[in-house]
Amino acid sequence: AHANDPVGMISDVLAFDEAVGKAVEFAEKDGNTMVIAIADHGNSGLSIGNANTTKGYDTTPVSAYIDPLKKAKMTLEGATSKLKEDLSNKEEVAALYGLSNLTSEEKAQLTKARDKKEISAALSKLLANRANLGFTTGGHTGEDVFLYSYGVDRPTGHFDNTDIAKHMAKSMNINLNELTNELFIEANKAFKGSKVEVDSKDKNNPVLVVTNNKRTVRFPVNKNIAIVNGKEIQMDSVVVQDKKNRFFVSKQAQQIVKNEK
């Protein structure tokens, strides 16, 4: 969806449908399983219809949207992976993406593309135009997303996104507050006896800096890494900063500062 690739979107949805089907099949047999399928956010603002269908859209046949997509043999990622280093086979790659018999105008748009990224953008625009599809963005969108659920205690209705996690936790008898207290400790308490500072040179990416008599460890906020002498150590949890500019770390972060791991 980020690449505005309708063929890729269709392929991924079909694969996802197959995967969810396996989960539902298991839940049917098990009788004690809840299945939830949901997106974290919308993406790309796909619309069936574009400027080509402004007039007469009520008489436009479904084939006008579907047939151009059926001609694709590969997704955008698959097709562009076949590009030669000198980009001399643009039209062959376009054909793999369902764009054969290019018009002079389409060829001109493809010719302007000078690298793989520009070729990908050109191909996706050309296919969307042929299939009468529109996209509002290459990024995230803010509409509500569908919630699919099946089985025991399944959630239904309109939910705030964080309530889904709470519903799942309750179903699994997990106390999220207790878990939070176990997984995250306020930095000044976690590193009592050590020097605790915040490097705010990059305001958007502050770093918690902890120094004791053994070592200095840097913990970038919102990341699950600790940096010791330029070497990154991957942790099991991210470092969190709240609205009061307090930092919270995991027990593993404590161990790293103590040089236990």
pLDDT-derived band at 52, boundaries 50, 70, 90: confident
Residues of the chain with CATH 1.10.60.40: 6-141
Are the C-beta atoms of 44 and 135 separated by less than 8 Å? yes
- What is the CA 110 to chain-centroid distance, rounded? 28
Q: What is the pTM of this model?
A: 0.75
| Residue 201 CA, distance from chain mean position | 29
d(CA 249, CA 197): 14
pLDDT, tens digit, 9 for 90 and up, residues 12-48: 999 999 999 999 999 999 999 999 999 999 999 999 9
> What is the token pair recorded at 113?
């593309």
Q: Which CATH superfamily is domain 183-257 in?
A: Copper amine oxidase-like, N-terminal domain (3.30.457.10)
Which class is 6-141 in CATH? mainly alpha
CATH code 3.30.457.10 region(s) in the chain: 183-257
pLDDT at 260: 59
Q: 29, 150 in Cβ contact below 8 A? A: no
pLDDT digit string, tens, across residues 210-255: 998 778 999 999 999 999 989 999 998 999 999 898 999 999 999 9
